[in-house]
Structure 1
Amino acid sequence: MTYRDATIHDIVLRPLRRFSDARGWLIELFRHDELASQVHPVMAYVSETLPGIARGPHEHADQTDIFGFFGPGDFKLYLWDSRPNSPTHGCRQAVVVGASQPTLAVVPPGVVHAYKNISDVPGLVFNAPNRLYAGWGKKEKVDEIRHEDMADSPFVLD
């Protein structure tokens, strides 16, 4: 399948506001009163991605990811809508997020996603998914289709 560039339905990209004072800064990553109840986070983690390195592309059948890109570093976030019943099925969206554009990104199930550190410094990414990794007690199958492991994947990062 060839993906066309467009804005993807159900993707939330919201600027994160940085509150700064003499002590430093603070960013609210999410609030329950600003998220639909079905995507309320059940866990959270932070990952470091080295310069020039990508994570993904992969997708989830049931999980929604709530990413916080706030720096250090900038990332190119790639999204592909592979949901058959979506009005934007077959669309691809790419945006720069991170230190230069602090952004909250809500990625629903069925949207293939990847991000690449496009900075010369390690970058941090916060994620607060609405499902536990490997389920309760880490005893279930991981909800992840890893397209990055497929030689003929149509999900190519530029």
Structure 2
Amino acid sequence: MIDGVQTKTLRVIPDERGRLMEILRCDDQIFKKFGQVYMTTNYPGVVKAWHYHKIQTDNVCCLSGMIKVALYDAREHSPTHGETNEFFIGEHNPMLVTIPPGVYHGWKCISEKESIVVSVPTEAYNYERPDEYRLPPDTPEIPYDWVLRQGLRHG
């Protein structure tokens, strides 16, 4: 796993009234600081990538649908420099992914319905000087292909 990336398996608690799922608590080992909470969606097949931050840590959770989260460690002095990670998260695999500064990240909606993603970054968005550095999804600088690959066959 890329140095500094953390995951937290989320527990869904159902009862006769509905479901509850804690995403991030201030007493979690994974928690650093609160900046803001926002929601974003992706239509099926849409890729939102690549970007990284110099200051903020991102905490990403998919509440509805499924997304493929891809990470690339571009930090020159990192022990995992050049590594990629991939996580499939959403309603069939509830998980929080924590992404440290300097790690490029993005995701693709892999479900047949729109995905709903909640992000809890450690910093509030600065409209005058955004801490956001972007590359296009198909950049040759990152060795990753967003094409959905056929999975393993069972049986």
**For the superposition of Structure 1 and Structure 2, which TM-score range results when normalised by the shorter chain?**
0.7 to 0.9
Match of 1:14 in 2: 8
Range moving further from structure 2, 142-151 or 120-129: 142-151
Give the direction of change, closer, same or farther, for the CA distance of 1:155–1:132 in structure 2 (3 Å limit): farther
**Structure 1 residue 73 and structure 2 residue 65: aligned?**
yes
Equivalences for residues 26-65 of structure 1 within 5 A: 26-35=20-29, 39-65=32-58
The answer for unaligned runs of 5 or more in structure 2 is 148-155
Question: Using the alignment, how far apart are the partners of 2:42 and 2:143 within structure 1?
Answer: 20
* Backbone CA RMSD of aligned residues: 1.7
| Aligned-partner SS, 1:32 | coil
Give the equivalent residue in structure 1 for 2:132: 144
Q: Provide Cα deviations, 1:113-143, integer angstroms capped at 9, x if missing partner.
A: 0100001000110001011111xxx3x3101
TM-score (norm 1): 0.85
> Can you list the C-alpha shifts for 1:14-38, whole angstroms capped at 9, x where unaligned?
111101101110111101111466x
Q: 1:106 aligns with which of 98, 105, 121?
A: 98
In the alignment, residue 136 of structure 2 is paired with which amino acid? E
Runs of 4+ in 1 over 6 A off after TM superposition: none
Q: What secondary structure is seen at the aligned counterpart in 1 of 2:27?
A: helix
Q: Which residue of 2 aligns with 1:121?
A: 113
1:57–1:155 contact (8 Å) kept in structure 2: no
**Counterparts of 1:16 and 1:104, CA distance in 2:** 7
Residue identity in the other structure for 2:10: L
- Unmatched segments (≥5 aa) in structure 1: 1-6
Count of equivalent residues: 146
Greater helix content: 1
Identity of paired residues, percent? 32
